[in-house]
Amino acid sequence: MKNFIIIIKWIVCLSAGSAFVSAQSIGELESNYNEVGKTLREEQLILDSLRLQLEYSAKQIEVEKNRAHSNRDVITTWMTKGVYLSSRIKEHQKIVAVLENQLLEVRDVLDQMYRQRIDSLKEAEKTYRGDRTALQNKILSWTEKRILLSPVIKSLSFDPQRVQDIKLTTTTDSLERIIYTDYLNKALAEVDAFSKSIKQTRREYEDIIDLRKKTDEFIEDVSEQRSIGIFMTQRSEKTTDVGSIAGPKFNEVIVSQAQVVVTLIKQLNTNVPVVSKFSNIQNQELSMEDYIQLLRQAEKELDIYRAFIKKKLK
């Protein structure tokens, strides 16, 4: 019931247009983003459960058909249940689609707001005569918010081996074909979502690296205007402050996500050699450059796997 109320509320918001979303404060949007995200995860669990039930129904039909004296009534009962489950799956797919669209819209507005804050601070930096370190930390803080807002990378929910075993061209049972086609389409949609998420994450980290390079250039400019002794003291202080975004909390995010990306790559292709530095990343620090390298490898594997699924659906 709670999920239904939240969904209705967001449908009303959608009908009011994006202006309603844009009119909210950053705090309100962040709260709404978390609320809709939680509801979406709950709906996805329901959808996964229904799909498992449908798959079980199909197996029971196959088992009954293979009996020496199959019972037509039993088969009909399971087929009726399969039709019912298919209908419920479609209903929840629509709900998930609404929530995903709304989540994307709120995230885009938040991203735009974060960008505006960052751009405003960068513009102020040009003529700012106060503590530049504090200003740069604000820029990095808002940039970190954008990074943490990016979709969380997860391991695959489908079984790549099952995808590999599916052969639609040799499937004669109509219900079985529906189930397999749905499974492949679900896998394809998930691969596309992963690819989009990983590309966006890579670009976000590349933006941070670019920002830090500009900060280093500023420090080098300062060194040309001051004595070496004063500069070395300030460089030490500035480096500590500016590097806060790459501190323990941020490195924890990188390591955690890198572990998932490595698992993802291995799920897609057990034979592909993951870069050696990522073979045991649980207790080590990773640079952003290392993480970007890993994300690029994941992008490549996802592109290959996407083509593989598309070929099966033809």
CATH code where residue 59 lies? 1.10.287
Does residue 307 share a domain with residue 166? yes
CA dist 178 and 193 (Å) reads 22
Does residue 203 share a domain with residue 143? yes
Does residue 102 share a domain with residue 182? no
Q: How high is the pLDDT of residue 239?
A: 35
For 194, the enclosing helix (H) or strand (E) is helix 174-225
Does residue 118 share a domain with residue 151? no
Give residue for tokens 């969380």: 152
Which of 105, 127, 149 is at the close of a domain? 127
Residue 290: count other Cβ atoms within 10 Å of its Cβ. Answer: 17
* CA nearest to 151, candidates 112, 193, 109: 193
Does residue 312 share a domain with residue 252? yes
Per-residue pLDDT tens for 162-217? 888 888 888 888 888 888 899 999 999 999 999 998 998 888 888 788 777 766 66
Does residue 148 share a domain with residue 80? no
Q: How high is the pLDDT of residue 176?
A: 86
Does residue 219 share a domain with residue 91? no
Which of 95, 127, 159 is at the close of a domain? 127
Q: How high is the pLDDT of residue 21?
A: 55
CA angle (193 as vertex; 311, 47 as ends), nearest 5: 95
Does residue 174 share a domain with residue 295? yes
Q: How high is the pLDDT of residue 70?
A: 87
pTM of the model as a whole: 0.54
Which residues contact residue 226 at a Cβ distance below 8 angstroms, ignoring those fewer than 6 apart?
234
Q: How high is the pLDDT of residue 249?
A: 54
Burial (CB count within 10 angstroms: exposed 0-12, middle 13-18, buried 19+), residue 85:
buried
- Residue-by-residue pLDDT tens, the chain, 314 positions: 555 555 555 555 544 445 445 567 888 888 888 888 889 989 999 999 999 999 999 999 999 999 988 899 999 999 999 999 999 999 999 999 999 888 888 888 888 898 899 889 888 888 877 777 778 778 877 887 777 776 566 778 888 888 888 888 888 888 888 888 999 999 999 999 999 989 988 888 887 887 777 666 665 665 555 544 444 444 433 333 333 344 555 667 777 788 888 888 888 876 776 655 666 665 566 778 888 988 999 999 999 999 999 999 98
Q: How high is the pLDDT of residue 17?
A: 47
Q: How high is the pLDDT of residue 268?
A: 85
Domain holding 153, by residue range, is 133-314
Q: How high is the pLDDT of residue 175?
A: 85
Does residue 184 share a domain with residue 252? yes
Q: How high is the pLDDT of residue 234?
A: 44
Which of 98, 127, 156 is at the close of a domain? 127
Query: What's the structural domain count of the chain?
Result: 2
* Strand, coil or helix: 152: coil
Which residues contact residue 54 at a Cβ distance below 8 angstroms, ignoring those fewer than 6 apart?
82, 85, 86, 89, 179
Q: How high is the pLDDT of residue 282?
A: 57
Does residue 141 share a domain with residue 114? no
Does residue 151 share a domain with residue 18? no
Does residue 146 share a domain with residue 90? no
